[in-house]
Structure 1
Amino acid sequence: MEWLSAENVVAVGTAVIGVVASAVMVWYERRVPRRKRIGYRVQMDNPIGDDVRSGRANVRLGLFDETPGMTDATLVLLRIENDGSQSIAGDDYTSRERHGLTAVFTDRTIRGVSVTQPPGTDHLMDHFTPAAGLSYEDGVLRIPRVPLNRGEHFKLLVLLSGGDVGREIRLIGGLRDGEVSPNRSTTPDDQPPLFSRAARLITVLLTVCVVTLALIVVLRDDTPRPVGCETGTLTVTGSTAFEPVMRELAEKYQEDCEGSTIVVDPHGSTAGVRELAAVGAKSKAGSPPVVALSDGPKPSGLPQLRENRVAVSVFALVVNDDIPVRNLSLTDVRRLYRGEIRNWKQLGGPDRPVLLVSRDANSGTRQVFQRRVLGRGEIANSSLDCVHKDDPTAPVVRCELDSTDQVLSTVAKLPGAIGYSELNSATGFTGLHKLSLDGHTPSVEDLEHGTSDYPYREIEYAYTYGQPPADSLASSFLSYISRGSGQDVIRTHGHLPCGTPVGLRICGDG
């Protein structure tokens, strides 16, 4: 279904994610209380004394060197900020003392404290007074109840002694409907993330969806299908001699017309035509999606089948290379297939018994041979292995095979064997050669140029059960066969398309 295309799925998915994300955020804003939070982090913890317990000895000058008690001194820079979603007032601190927060420097003693604030927050300094609770004792620093707007911060530079760097530093305190907790930053003065992890995840997900949709739209092939293309499934049956042509035509049509499936399943001309008639008789939806190819016209008694003349096919008699004969008269061919000539020496060849390798009764190639060359049916089958007579009264060995390839392989393998095949299939087959008839070489070119009366040829018919709908795959495929690239394929396989001027004349003559 076209609405299930990749771009539509991504677009709908993006919209759904956006709607769900918006709904979740609205629900979160309404149902989840907005929390107050103070975050803190240690931005510096460095030794300035000459005690090497920290593993980092120092060189000091001035006050750092002259002031007593600096041997094991350290400097700590502590940043305290409002990284929550609401402003914090002085009465939001839950401590029962005057101060709001307590910083504890484990195993160290505070020697001095300096408070700094960023530009534009001078009002904060009014809160850092002893009266407001600013004081220290041993390793404990008491911090006043400093009101902080969202994102505001201050820093405490603390001079300590008596302990090593890296010892635990904690900020203790509480907030009404909030918390005090450590936070992180990649650089000392970075602000905490503006968006929460969930918001960032949703943003990334939506961005990926939008980019994917854009790529699909940009990279997809919007080339319209060729005019006349149809979708669906079509079965092509019938002639095995015309099978290579149908397979290539089916492949090319499917390449040109996306969404079409053409199954080529040949069983012989007569079998294919009768199969089409049977399927059509059972169909309750009009013309079924089946096309039957036939070497020659359909059998009588099938008025429902509608014919389409596709091409002129040329066939050839083939003989094993052990037999040097290159030309036979029609009279000699008929005598051979009546069993009157039993040995090739009767035709000037070697002393070899004649082996007639034929097709089964459903074969269109055989029917054309009987109609165009013999003028009658072949004699009875007398052998299963094409070598020995199963009927001792039969004049010659004659066997029947199911396909053109089987006939060619058998003729090429058995000395003295003769058979028949579609011309292009026999061309290039090793172990056998083609025969001329009454001096006329089997050739599509000679036939097209009007210089040959070669008799073993026939029109290739494509049959449908009734008239298929104009917008059906069967109708489209038949049109494809009769034009441009379809005719090129037919000609490549050694057939003369009926759509050409010469082919039209020959196909019209029948």
Structure 2
Amino acid sequence: MSGVSWESVIAVFGLAVPVVAALWEFVLAGRKRLGYRVQMDTTVRDSSTSGPETRVFQRMQWDGRTLADPSVVLLRIENVGWSPIVDGDYVAPPTDPVGVRIAFPGRRVVGMAVTERSDNVPRSFFEPDRAGFATTDGVISLPKVILNRRAHYKVLAVLDREESFREPDFPDPVVTAGVVGGVRGRTIKKTEYYPFASRPVRWLLALLVLVSVAQSVSTFARGENAAAAPLDCAEGTLHLSGSTAFRPVLELAAAQYTKTCPGARIPLTDNSFRGSVPGLDTLAAAGGKAEPGTDAGLGDRLAFSDGPKSDGRPQLLPRPVALSLFTLVVSEDTGVRDLSLKQVRDIYAGRITNWSQVKGRDLPIQLVSRHPGSGTRSALEKRVLDGRPLPAVTTNDCRSLDTGRPGRCEVGGTPALLDTVATTPGALGHSEVGSAAAHEGVRQVRIDGYPATLEGADQGAYPFWETEIAYTYGEPPADSIAAGFLRYLADEVGKDVIRSQGHRPCSELDKPLVCRPAGS
């Protein structure tokens, strides 16, 4: 194309992208959209050892029915499009009053009720004698409710296990419905979060960002051979040590930092990460040997610890970096995916020694733990076991565990612990969430029904977490590689790296200075 520059083509393309996106979202795809969310799906087991919530289920058992394995499901039905949904929009024959059907594989419906509705959704839709509002053969039927834009209602169902269903976990509820309109098909959509835009629109917006980047590159690349390095770049060699649980974050961050800053070197070895306490020991020893003076600190060393250091060593200065979530892990043969906090404490106290005592398989429990000095182990003892120490070791070599009876052994790092749990029948161990999720052969264990999530920790319901703290020896010089790397971790790229490994940057929490969940 003679006389037409690439900058002009990119500019025209950049203007066309948002126009196409707006037409797609507001005129075509988003016109009519029916969605649902499963806001709660909780199975209540071991009512004698759980909290006050299960007493509600005990009262329900007394109400003329014995529930073998009760559960509660809360669903939200909502209009997530831009146009109202009326009676004639539902994909169903005009003579069929039912608009939405909900089935629960493996469970039967004991009872249900509509617990919440938008102000503009009449109560009359959910009267007991309303056509289309019923429970038949274990399926909840809901009428063709008229929903204005953003209107919703919620259905609470009490369920019980079918006698013929033997799996430990239930499949997700199956919601069948649809509306006429839009171009994505008629099926009801599952929405985990309140929708902002459809997937095609998000792709178009991402493309718009790429267009903007291309324009910037085209503008600044002309006449320039290289871009300036970021302000946080520093030359030199940085030595990292400490937590094995936080090692994946540091490995990825170090690779990104040295790629961005060619003058920086961050050598990482297995000897660098031997646990939180050994890492602090290494930093303190290096500082004592260097003797930087009272007004200076080491600029080439950092130690990372799962939780604060013990008393003493005033030269080691803390900087909270992230909230680390940990999880209990079991071998796949245990048959257990959920334990109450009391059951966990009874296991580590030796009062529960076989998985059959917590509705698992008939296998002796083998405890696989980290060596003393591990921050993950300290977090387990402090936050899960209420300060109680772990039981005595029965063998110094995990490979020699007698799996015919309960036992405990210790390993040096997180990868070794996960490998041992995966290959030992009846094993129970502890790990940070990112490594556990990526490791084959182990299953994460919920505590009191809560998985290892920030939401659970914020509510004060999930107890297994700790603050990841970076320690320096004294105050490092502002232009040192240690100071630059800490700033990098707190910057957007560093925060992306932290999140990618299952941790949460402190700056994103309600209490960033102390880096604690809101519920703690």
Q: TM-score, normalised by structure 1?
A: 0.54
Whole-angstrom CA distance in 2 between matches of 1:296 and 1:398: 24
Deviations 1:236-269 (A, max 9, x none): 1000110010011111111111201112321110
Contact in 2 for aligned 1:444/1:494 (Cα 8 Å) = no
Contact in 2 for aligned 1:355/1:386 (Cα 8 Å) = no
Whole-angstrom CA distance in 2 between matches of 1:508 and 1:338: 28
Q: State the 1:493 CA deviation.
A: 0.8
Q: State the 1:471 CA deviation.
A: 1.0
Q: State the 1:220 CA deviation.
A: 8.5
Whole-angstrom CA distance in 2 between matches of 1:401 and 1:389: 13
Contact in 2 for aligned 1:270/1:299 (Cα 8 Å) = no
Q: State the 1:228 CA deviation.
A: 2.3
Q: State the 1:505 CA deviation.
A: 6.9
Select the structure of larger CA radius of gyration: 1
Does residue 440 of the first structure (1) align with residue 450 of the second (2)?
Answer: yes
Q: What amino acid sits opposite 1:308 in the alignment?
A: R
Correspondent of 1:243 among 244, 247, 260: 247
Contact in 2 for aligned 1:312/1:506 (Cα 8 Å) = no
Contact in 2 for aligned 1:234/1:262 (Cα 8 Å) = yes
* Corresponding position of 1:229: 233
Q: State the 1:451 CA deviation.
A: 4.7
Correspondent of 1:379 among 391, 409, 427: 391
Aligned pairs for 1:39-438 within 5 A = 221-264=225-268, 265-285=272-292, 286-288=296-298, 289-375=300-386, 376-386=388-398, 388=400, 396-438=406-448
Give the count of matched residue pairs: 288
* Corresponding position of 1:83: none
Identity %, equivalent residues: 43
Contact in 2 for aligned 1:355/1:387 (Cα 8 Å) = no
Whole-angstrom CA distance in 2 between matches of 1:385 and 1:501: 40
* Corresponding position of 1:492: 500
Q: State the 1:287 CA deviation.
A: 2.1
Deviations 1:68-92 (A, max 9, x none): xxxxxxxxxxxxxxxxxxxxxxxxx
Q: State the 1:430 CA deviation.
A: 2.1
Whole-angstrom CA distance in 2 between matches of 1:266 and 1:320: 25
* Corresponding position of 1:471: 479
Deviations 1:376-415 (A, max 9, x none): 211121113336569x9xx931000011111111111111
Contact in 2 for aligned 1:266/1:272 (Cα 8 Å) = yes
Contact in 1 for aligned 2:320/2:514 (Cα 8 Å) = no
Contact in 1 for aligned 2:331/2:427 (Cα 8 Å) = yes
Q: State the 1:476 CA deviation.
A: 0.8
Whole-angstrom CA distance in 2 between matches of 1:501 and 1:419: 28
The SS at the match of 2:471 is strand
Q: State the 1:303 CA deviation.
A: 1.3
Q: State the 1:334 CA deviation.
A: 1.2
Does residue 457 of the first structure (1) align with residue 465 of the second (2)?
Answer: yes
- Call closer, same or farther: CA 1:486–1:401 in 2, change over 3 Å: same
Unaligned runs of 5+ in 1: 1-217
Contact in 2 for aligned 1:309/1:498 (Cα 8 Å) = yes
Contact in 2 for aligned 1:295/1:460 (Cα 8 Å) = yes
Q: State the 1:296 CA deviation.
A: 0.6
Q: What amino acid sits opposite 2:280 in the alignment?
A: V
Q: What amino acid sits opposite 2:466 in the alignment?
A: E
Contact in 1 for aligned 2:347/2:353 (Cα 8 Å) = yes
Deviations 1:269-309 (A, max 9, x none): 01001111111111133422110000011122121110010
Deviations 1:81-111 (A, max 9, x none): xxxxxxxxxxxxxxxxxxxxxxxxxxxxxxx
Contact in 2 for aligned 1:314/1:458 (Cα 8 Å) = yes
Whole-angstrom CA distance in 2 between matches of 1:256 and 1:453: 40
Whole-angstrom CA distance in 1 between matches of 2:263 and 2:513: 36
Q: TM-score, normalised by structure 2?
A: 0.53
Contact in 2 for aligned 1:311/1:503 (Cα 8 Å) = no
Contact in 2 for aligned 1:388/1:397 (Cα 8 Å) = no
Whole-angstrom CA distance in 1 between matches of 2:223 and 2:370: 53
- Call closer, same or farther: CA 1:374–1:228 in 2, change over 3 Å: same
Whole-angstrom CA distance in 1 between matches of 2:326 and 2:509: 21
Contact in 1 for aligned 2:397/2:410 (Cα 8 Å) = no
Deviations 1:14-60 (A, max 9, x none): xxxxxxxxxxxxxxxxxxxxxxxxxxxxxxxxxxxxxxxxxxxxxxx
Whole-angstrom CA distance in 2 between matches of 1:284 and 1:219: 48
Contact in 2 for aligned 1:312/1:503 (Cα 8 Å) = no
Give the RMSD, CA atoms, in angstroms: 2.2
